[in-house]
Amino acid sequence: MVHLSNTFPELFRREAYAVTLALNEQQQVQSTLDDVLATREIEGLWDKDYSLVPMGELEGRDEGEPIAQKNMSMGYTTYGAIAIEMSGKVGLSNILKQRSREFTAQDGGVNEPKFAGYLADSVVRQFTLRDAQKRRKLAAKIFNYGGIQAGHSFFNQYVRSKSSDVTNSNLIYDGSPLFAYPAAAHASFASGAVAGPGSSAVGTTVDYTGLLADTGGYFNAFNLPPAYWSLKRVWTHFVNNMQYDDNDEETEIMPDTLLVSSHNYIKWTEILKSKFVEPTTDGNQTNIENVFYMEGFKLKLVPCRDLIKNTWFLGVSKSRGISICKAAGEDDPWAYWRNEEDRTYWTSFERYWGMWIQNWRYWCAGAISTDGTTAPTFGGTAEADWDTIPSGV
């Protein structure tokens, strides 16, 4: 009969901690998205915050005149929530029985230090690697599902929190998809405007096939292929048209990160790292100096294997626009127990995960999947022709 002492759980935890630490040092559980998205702690299963509508522009006054009052108000209510997203358990008794000779001590009992070390190197390692994989995939879903114009239940914090106090909506806080096309543009809180003062279209359309009109307003989704001209186009819109706060006043947020699907990583490396770009124009080569090669325009190129092929996103790393949520004072993810009904031993792993969308302005999609699974094809245009700007765009 298998019997483990009362000291085994602590011995197992120490070994589990050592393996987890080693995997972190070896960078086997790191994700490129860890360097892109901010982290925020949540007390309980959900929390809420308000977008503070900033005051209007400051004005001058003559001596003796009263100071003009400037009011600030609470804006959109934003929610963050966590749920158990990584969970699993393993029976230890069968493992021990199957390899009893290896883990038998001289007194005939269990060599617990050796058994704990084996479990850490096998069970703990696998759970930890799968945990990192799931967290990476969940973070990528923010971008993969964010372009679905009807919204997706992944963004419904009511579903994640199971709380009636949380808004039941598949859209983000302002009633739009995270990455919104011009037809479903974001609206400012102060006036409901969908375009800032002086906003103007960057081009004619925001897609490669010329079906979606560019309005120059509060939208942050394009569908353009990985190309130098596409990046210039999206960067220009980001800086000039997305830079108005919820009071329709100008702000200044400069993008520093280009997040891309690993499938297109080499293509984007060529675009960003070449000093000159050479688009074909009527059969002639024209040398144009790459602006993204210059200081002040350089972008951090971040590939992610879980992003849908051909999608790409321009944004600000570690901003509070999109945050990954974790439980404050998170408990030990490992549990160990004996089932008295059949006298078997078990260990389980469980971790919470969630996300919080607080400001859409920090990210703009250069190309999105409109259903969360299908890669954009840009009208079937061959990759060799992506560098050519289509007529009317």
Q: What's the pLDDT tens digit per position in 256-276?
A: 999 999 999 999 999 998 888
**For the whole model, what pTM was predicted?**
0.87
pLDDT > 70? residue 255? yes
pLDDT value for 91: 83
Query: How many Å is the maximal CA-CA distance in the chain?
Result: 94
Higher local confidence (pLDDT), 69 or 359: 359
pLDDT > 70? residue 99? no
Section 286-311 average pLDDT: 91
pLDDT value for 296: 85
Q: What angle do CA 281, 259, 33 make, to 5 degrees?
A: 165
Question: Which residues 6+ apart lie within 8 Å of 182 measured at CB?
Answer: 206, 212, 213, 214, 215, 217, 219
Section 360-381 average pLDDT: 96
In the chain, domain spans = 8-51+74-385
- Backbone region of residue 237 per phi and psi (left: phi > 0; alpha: psi in -120 to 50; beta: other values): alpha
pLDDT > 70? residue 178? yes
pLDDT value for 11: 77
Q: How high is the mean pLDDT of the chain? A: 86
Structure tokens at 81: 């929530």
Higher local confidence (pLDDT), 141 or 293: 141
Residue 13 confidence class, pLDDT cut points 50, 70, 90: confident
pLDDT > 90? residue 237? yes
Q: What's the pLDDT tens digit per position in 18-47?
A: 777 777 666 666 778 988 999 999 988 999
pLDDT > 80? residue 116? no
- Name the DSSP class of 67: P
pLDDT value for 134: 92
pLDDT value for 56: 62
Q: What CA–CA distance (Å, rounded) separates 219 from 179?
A: 7
Strand partners, 77: 50
High-pLDDT (> 70) share of the chain, %: 88
Tell me if 239 sits within 8 A of 227, measured CB to CB.
no
pLDDT > 70? residue 95? yes
Higher local confidence (pLDDT), 216 or 67: 216
Tell me if 85 sits within 8 A of 351, measured CB to CB.
yes
Higher local confidence (pLDDT), 85 or 333: 85
pLDDT value for 3: 67
